[in-house]
């Protein structure tokens, strides 16, 4: 069955210290799967990455992983994906993920998550794509970053229009619903978009 929509999720390869982070990764994956969607993610098996992939499949969704060969060699790959694409570089990984996604969502994570989030946001503002970009502020994790970005606007290095390109929220389901609707897509007929 063709997925109703495809969401690229950026998140940590570690679980984080607070169990709420892993819980929200499971919630995101479950929502995607239960609504007939497809997860596109970095192809890892650990941390929040593994949690969101496992939950998507458990809820009936498809999982597309994209991972560099160097990470497969280190045995970081999740071989339970419906599609696992092994690429040569991080640039290829990010481009394939962007191409396969209808929307983007960043969960808590570290340097890799930050870099992926900022790149798709920058691409959006430069007109390289017109797909919605979301930032899930679980337990206030991204609040200091959001405050800093607001300070950047005040200092004149960014505009309110650039900030408006990001959809933020502290609850998974409403933000996912907003992203899917902003992409002009609908869930599978077997589900309601809640």
pTM, to two decimals: 0.93
DSSP string of 126-179, one letter each residue? TTS----EEEE-GGGTTHHHHHHHHHHHHTTSS-HHHHTTEEEESSHHHHHHHH
Residue range 6-182, CATH number: 3.40.50.450
- Per-residue pLDDT tens digits for 86-116: 999 999 999 999 999 999 999 999 999 999 9
- Per-residue pLDDT tens digits for 2-20: 889 999 999 999 999 999 9
Q: Taking every pair of C-alpha atoms in the chain, what is the biggest distance, in angstroms?
A: 49
Residue 149 has a CB neighbour count (10 Å cut-off) of 17
């Amino acid at each position: 069955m063709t997925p109703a929509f495809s969401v690229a999720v950026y998140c940590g390869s570690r679980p984080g210290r607070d169990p709420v982070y892993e819980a929200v990764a499971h919630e995101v994956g479950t929502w995607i799967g239960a609504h007939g969607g497809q997860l596109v993610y970095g192809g890892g098996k650990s941390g929040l990455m593994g949690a969101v992939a496992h939950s998507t499949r458990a809820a009936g969704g498809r999982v597309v992983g994209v991972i560099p060969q160097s990470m497969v060699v280190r045995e970081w790959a999740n071989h339970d994906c419906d599609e696992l694409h092994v690429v040569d570089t991080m640039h290829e990984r990010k481009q394939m993920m962007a191409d396969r996604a209808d929307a983007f969502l960043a969960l808590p994570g570290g340097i890799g998550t930050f870099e992926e989030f900022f790149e798709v946001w920058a691409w959006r503002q430069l007109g390289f794509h017109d797909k919605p970009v979301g930032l899930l502020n679980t337990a206030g994790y991204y609040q200091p970053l959001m405050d800093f970005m607001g300070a950047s606007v005040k200092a004149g290095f960014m505009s309110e229009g650039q900030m408006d390109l990001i959809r933020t929220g502290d609850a998974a389901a409403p933000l996912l619903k907003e992203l899917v609707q902003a992409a002009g897509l609908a869930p599978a007929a077997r589900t309601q978009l809640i």
